[in-house]
Amino acid sequence: MRVCFPIEKDEGLSSRIYGHFGSSPMFLLVDTKSRESNVVVNTDSHHSHSACKPMRALKGERIDSIVVGNIGAGARMQLRQAGLRVFRATSHIVSENLDKITLDTLPEFGDDEYCNGQGSGGGRGYGNVCCH
C-alpha cells in the first residue's frame, strides 16, 4: 500500500506530519512494505479556503490512503471519491503513524469529522484542533 503524509520538511520517515492536508508544502509518499519513499511538492498549497484540489496537488501519483492531522470536508470527499482512505494522524512523526497503519490500528476520519477552516496556528493542528 502507498500512503501519503503531508509534511513541511523532508526528513524521510522521521518527518513531522503537517497538520492540514491542503496547505501542506509537500507530501511524503511511502510504500508500507518496502518503506521506500519519495516527496511531491504541493503546487496547490496556496489555494483559497474550500478550493483544494487534492489530486492535482498530488500530481497523479498512485496512492491508496492519506494520513493527516486535519482535512477539510471538500478535500476529504474528493479523496474518498477517488477511492482513497483518509486516516487521522495520532502522532506528529511519519514512522509512528506508518507503524499503526501497517497494524491496522490508525483511526479513519469519520463522515462528520473535518476541518471547518476556523482554526489558526500555521497548519499544525491535530485531533479536534484545525489549523491552516
Domains present along the chain, CATH in parentheses: 2-102 (3.30.420.130)
In the chain, % of residues over pLDDT 90: 48
Better pLDDT: 20 or 62: 62
Residue 33 has pLDDT above 80, yes or no: yes
Give just the sign of the alpha carbon dihedral 61, 62, 68, 74: positive
In the chain, % of residues over pLDDT 70: 74
pTM: 0.80
CA proximity to 56, closest of 8, 103, 86, 21: 21
Q: What is the pLDDT of residue 125?
A: 44
Residues 62-66 have a mean pLDDT of 93
Burial status of residue 83 (CB atoms within 10 A of its CB: 0-12, 13-18, 19 or more): exposed
Q: What is the pLDDT of residue 45?
A: 62
Residue 57 has pLDDT above 90, yes or no: no
Residue 48 has pLDDT above 90, yes or no: no
DSSP letters spanning 109-132:
PPTT--B-S---SSS---TT----
